[in-house]
Chains A and B, each alone.
Chain A
């Protein structure tokens, strides 16, 4: 279905990434926001708090991040598209209930505007060091979907995309942006409502009393049950069966966890979104995501001008990791270089998938600013040697 015209601020705007993300959420039909302000993500909450009262949305400033995450799960199960935003310290606090969202298969969107860490670190400066936390931050075994925008325009678009993925796969979806993109202001072109495709929630077509909240069939994503329409159901963070009630044994665990993992792994080709330039015939490939993929481009252009056969992969989806593509390319190239604002997190995945087929390297950074293109260029030149 298409977006509703009253939700879409069609036109050209000069917006930062955070404001653009808020507009993306509204265009996607988000109508509940529960959050706790934290730099550098606050502008998302701020804009939503100003826009929601006029369009019938509910904004609640919660007492902390634990409650924020819990509130958006509740709202979503109540039938409303919901989201929250945060940064490093708040992301840590949200991890427990993020896992609850995974286990309860609850669609929602969480934006992490990454700043420098660990701990309170650098509130007003960028980092990309929560990438592995996004992947493994909550306990237990599960898969996640995480997207990384490189501009305000893409912050708008990927927020809509995140809502669509969350409804399609019935799970929380992460937007792992950073302070640089969040606070960067650029032209954002918002299309008309009829150009925005939305995935609407799939509810059961069975009658009350005949439907369960988790009708796993190993193929399609189970439809949700609507509240307030006579369906009586139970959902829990405990290992459960299709009826949503706890079943504490290994068989139920196998079925439950398998569902959480398979729905992402088996649909990886649909979820993974990469942008590739000149990867065919390349000797060296530079991989990165978010702001780092953007500042890597001048370095790549410079290396190409030196005669190096170089290509680039920009991961718009970071999780699930594009394993298949990397294994395939690693057998054809001499080297792969990861550029990220940490000392090698997503690099570990690239290196694992390359599996010794080619040389790998990381252009690491402690955060606080973005890479200087020349630093990336130097590593490219070193690797070529």
Chain B
């Protein structure tokens, strides 16, 4: 596999940066690839638009920023609106179903939605929504092997929260596999909106 450009967007406090960190760590530490993560945020930490970028590759990443996202993970509508036009024409949109309303996609694009916040709330902690998103992304894309992602979640979350986070990861993953199992294509997914 060549190079995959991933952008994660949301608002500060949703765990956007951790989400990028986990993907990069999964690829570089647990899957022996190169992975470069960069982040951008405003001077204010919480509530403002926030985004992380990860580039995974079999070779060293020389240009560290996303130019055309192969995968856009959107956890807020603002973030989605801001970055939807910089997606690759074959890009995959992975979005928080209750927070993001996708517009018409390009003909070769795919979109997969998950109610990550609701799932996280069912688990008792809204804060793990980013990990639900990660599990879901792992299931609907093939950017990093699921096992590598899971290991990266386990080794990246605060001590004592591993069980909850892994549960969140697995729930996101199940939702994604279920959606794929139903043969969800772009049109079906749109119909489900």
Chain A residues in the interface with B (C-beta under 8 A): 12-14, 39, 123-124, 180, 183-187, 291, 294-295, 297-298, 369-370, 373
Residues of A within 8 A of B24 (CB): 14, 185-186
- Distance of A294 from chain B, by nearest CB (Å): 5
- Rounded to whole angstroms, the CA-CA distance of A294 and B34 in the bound complex is 15
Stretch at the interface among B62-70, B72-80, B119-127, B136-144: B62-70
Q: For the complex, is B36 an interface residue (Cβ under 8 Å from A)?
A: yes
Given the contacts A14-B21, A123-B43, A187 and B29 also touching, CB distance less than 8 Å: yes
Query: Which among B36, B37, B39, B62 is the interface contact of A297 at CB below 8 angstroms?
Result: B62
- Distance of A348 from chain B, by nearest CB (Å): 26
Residues of A within 8 A of B64 (CB): 180, 184, 291, 294-295, 370
- Rounded to whole angstroms, the CA-CA distance of A8 and B28 in the bound complex is 21
Q: For the complex, is B35 an interface residue (Cβ under 8 Å from A)?
A: yes
Given the contacts A297-B62, A370-B64, A373-B63, A185 and B21 also touching, CB distance less than 8 Å: yes
- Rounded to whole angstroms, the CA-CA distance of A29 and B166 in the bound complex is 37
- Distance of A167 from chain B, by nearest CB (Å): 32
- Rounded to whole angstroms, the CA-CA distance of A370 and B31 in the bound complex is 28
Name the prevailing secondary structure of the B interface residues.
Answer: mixed
- Distance of B101 from chain A, by nearest CB (Å): 29
> In the complex the two chains form, is A186's CB within 8 Å of B28's CB?
yes
Closest A residue to B152 by beta carbon equals A14
Given the contacts A14-B25, A294-B62, A369-B65, A187 and B39 also touching, CB distance less than 8 Å: no
Residues of B within 8 A of A373 (CB): 62-63
> In the complex the two chains form, is A184's CB within 8 Å of B62's CB?
no
Residues of B within 8 A of A123 (CB): 43
Q: Can you list 23 A-B contacts (CB < 8 A)?
A: A13-B29, A14-B21, A123-B43, A124-B40, A124-B42, A124-B43, A184-B38, A184-B64, A185-B20, A185-B24, A185-B37, A186-B35, A186-B37, A186-B61, A291-B64, A294-B62, A294-B63, A295-B64, A298-B62, A298-B63, A370-B63, A370-B65, A373-B63
Q: Lowest 6 CB-CB distances: which A-B pairs, in order?
A: A14-B25, A185-B37, A187-B28, A297-B62, A295-B63, A186-B36
Instruction: Tell me how many residues of B have a C-beta within 8 Å of chain A.
Output: 21
Closest B residue to A152 by beta carbon equals B36
Residues of B within 8 A of A186 (CB): 24, 28, 34-37, 61
Residues of A within 8 A of B63 (CB): 294-295, 298, 370, 373
- Rounded to whole angstroms, the CA-CA distance of A188 and B84 in the bound complex is 32
Residues of B within 8 A of A187 (CB): 28-29, 34-35
Residues of A within 8 A of B28 (CB): 14, 186-187
Residues of B within 8 A of A295 (CB): 62-64
Closest A residue to B41 by beta carbon equals A124
Residues of A within 8 A of B62 (CB): 294-295, 297-298, 373
- Rounded to whole angstroms, the CA-CA distance of A14 and B31 in the bound complex is 13
Closest A residue to B156 by beta carbon equals A14
- Rounded to whole angstroms, the CA-CA distance of A136 and B61 in the bound complex is 34
- Distance of B150 from chain A, by nearest CB (Å): 15
Residues of B within 8 A of A294 (CB): 62-64
Closest B residue to A298 by beta carbon equals B62
Residues of B within 8 A of A297 (CB): 62
- Distance of A200 from chain B, by nearest CB (Å): 33
- Rounded to whole angstroms, the CA-CA distance of A12 and B35 in the bound complex is 13
- Rounded to whole angstroms, the CA-CA distance of A14 and B35 in the bound complex is 9
- Rounded to whole angstroms, the CA-CA distance of A383 and B36 in the bound complex is 32
Closest B residue to A39 by beta carbon equals B43
> In the complex the two chains form, is B40's CB within 8 Å of A12's CB?
no
- Distance of B23 from chain A, by nearest CB (Å): 10
Closest B residue to A291 by beta carbon equals B64
- Rounded to whole angstroms, the CA-CA distance of A348 and B113 in the bound complex is 53
- Rounded to whole angstroms, the CA-CA distance of A212 and B43 in the bound complex is 50
Residues of B within 8 A of A370 (CB): 63-65
- Distance of B76 from chain A, by nearest CB (Å): 19
- Rounded to whole angstroms, the CA-CA distance of A185 and B63 in the bound complex is 13
Closest A residue to B42 by beta carbon equals A124
Closest B residue to A16 by beta carbon equals B37
- Rounded to whole angstroms, the CA-CA distance of A297 and B63 in the bound complex is 9
Residues of A within 8 A of B41 (CB): 124
- Distance of B120 from chain A, by nearest CB (Å): 24
- Rounded to whole angstroms, the CA-CA distance of A369 and B64 in the bound complex is 10
Closest B residue to A301 by beta carbon equals B62
Residues of A within 8 A of B35 (CB): 14, 186-187
> In the complex the two chains form, is A183's CB within 8 Å of B65's CB?
no
Add 8 more A-B contacts to A124-B41, A186-B37, A370-B65 (CB < 8 A). Answer: A14-B21, A14-B24, A14-B28, A184-B37, A185-B36, A186-B36, A187-B34, A369-B65
